[in-house]
Amino acid sequence: MKSIAYIAFAIVYYLACILPVNRNRFFCVMTHDSSEDSGVGVVIKEIKSRNPSAVFIYVTKEDRKISSLVKLIFVKSVMLATSRVVLMDNEFLPLAYVKRRKNVQIVQLWHGTGTIKKFGHDANEGSILKRVIRADKKITHLIVNSDYTKELYKGAFGVTDDVVCVTGIPRTDMFFSEEVKETAISSFYNEYPELKGRKLILYAPTFRDNEVKNPRCMLDFDKWVEKMGEDVVLLIRLHPHVAAFYKEDTISCYNGKIVNVSEYNDVNTLLFVSDALVTDYSSIIFEYVVLDRPMYFYAYDFDSFADSGRGFYEEYTEYVPGEVVYTTEELIAAIQGEDRYSSVRKEFANHAYRYMDGCSTKRVVDLLDM
């Protein structure tokens, strides 16, 4: 079914190639995050400030629905064929079936600032990998954050040196703006006034494939509440498949010491308000490290994840900028202990960022032929 849809998309695309390219048209693939503060979203805002005549065509998660398929195939294929610039935060597999038109720029912004786990060409297999390889050949600009990530992303996207642009990641600019952070924090406490003045610890684990059929959170909430102080609140940010099982009626027995923020609309705000982060294999650490606050790596399933997962680019326990723990008891002890990783975090941040000036969006838009 997907192959038929891709081919139909390509047929309409090629028919539309008789039309001229519109220099003011931007085709925006936002299938990972369609918010205004996403990677593509902040670039759009900068383009609008420079070119009031710019027109934007959007492809979001909604376009994956059967009800949106006809419009994607017969309308948005024409828009792609006549757009001067393509901005993407994810793979867009219809590109595997079409040829990039002359002078059209295809900019891959991706949705991760960095990565621990292997991805892209280093992780995909079979027919998906073949399509991804063909699609990625169309990329003209691959946006990365540092010289280190340049080498990783080069392999993950199968591109050459000249395609990779170390401009910094646009959506991280807000982490270097005190005004943006203060506004976001104020908005959060307006919604959760009862949390003001308390120590907030954000738990944001990676989603595991086996959680589709068996959703679970492997942190022992009872033990957490028993051992942590009254002023400590655990904010849990879970994947939608898992979060559905931890609604307020499930955690209300913890008297506000555990709050489910899985549906909160902006994860960056949650990072801004949190005094510490608990995660495992998530790339969220590449944003949080800028704030120089403690991080704890609750890798309760490290052996099985490493064996059955995509694998890591580095030796996990040596690479992450914080203490690695494997049980709830170890996690609690680490949080209650002394923070010994400040210098490690600074070194990690310098490794992960070439620029820390909040101007990455401007550098990306400077690359566009407008």
Note whether 334 and 278 are within 8 A (CB): no
> Residue 251 has what pLDDT?
66
Query: How far is residue 220's CA from residue 329's CA, in Å, rounded to a whole number?
Result: 9
Helix (H) or strand (E) holding 182: helix 178-191
Note whether 93 and 24 are within 8 A (CB): no
> Residue 369 has what pLDDT?
82
Q: What angle do CA 356, 285, 293 make, to 5 degrees?
A: 75
Q: Which of 215, 154, 167 is nearest to 359 (CA)?
A: 167
Which SS3 state, helix, strand or coil, does residue 340 take? coil
> Residue 242 has what pLDDT?
66
Taking only the tens place, the pLDDT of each residue in 262-289 is 889 899 999 999 999 999 999 999 999 9
Note whether 88 and 40 are within 8 A (CB): yes
Note whether 176 and 358 are within 8 A (CB): yes
**CB neighbours of 310 closer than 8 A, spacing ≥ 6?**
117, 118, 119, 122, 123
Note whether 361 and 154 are within 8 A (CB): no
Q: Which of 203, 216, 208 is nearest to 245 (CA)?
A: 216
> Residue 306 has what pLDDT?
80
Query: How far is residue 94's CA from residue 27's CA, in Å, rounded to a whole number?
Result: 13
> Residue 83 has what pLDDT?
99
Which SS3 state, helix, strand or coil, does residue 37 take? coil
Taking only the tens place, the pLDDT of each residue in 97-115 is 999 999 999 999 999 999 9
Domains within the chain, CATH numbers bracketed: 2-168+358-366 (3.40.50.11820), 175-352 (3.40.50.12580)
> Residue 229 has what pLDDT?
86
User: DSSP state, 22?
Assistant: E
> Residue 111 has what pLDDT?
94
Query: How far is residue 274's CA from residue 107's CA, in Å, rounded to a whole number?
Result: 32
> Residue 66 has what pLDDT?
82
Query: How far is residue 280's CA from residue 277's CA, in Å, rounded to a whole number?
Result: 10
Mean pLDDT in each 10-residue stretch from start to end of the chain (370 residues)? 90 98 98 94 98 98 87 97 99 98 98 93 93 98 97 97 98 97 97 96 83 70 92 88 62 82 92 98 96 97 80 94 98 97 98 97 94
The CB-side HSE value for 170 (13 A sphere, CA atoms) comes to: 30
Which SS3 state, helix, strand or coil, does residue 245 take? coil
User: DSSP state, 202?
Assistant: E
Looking at the chain, the whole-number percentage of residues with pLDDT higher than 90 is 82
* Dihedral angle, C-alpha 4, 9, 12, 18, nearest 10 °: -140
Note whether 283 and 114 are within 8 A (CB): yes
> Residue 243 has what pLDDT?
64
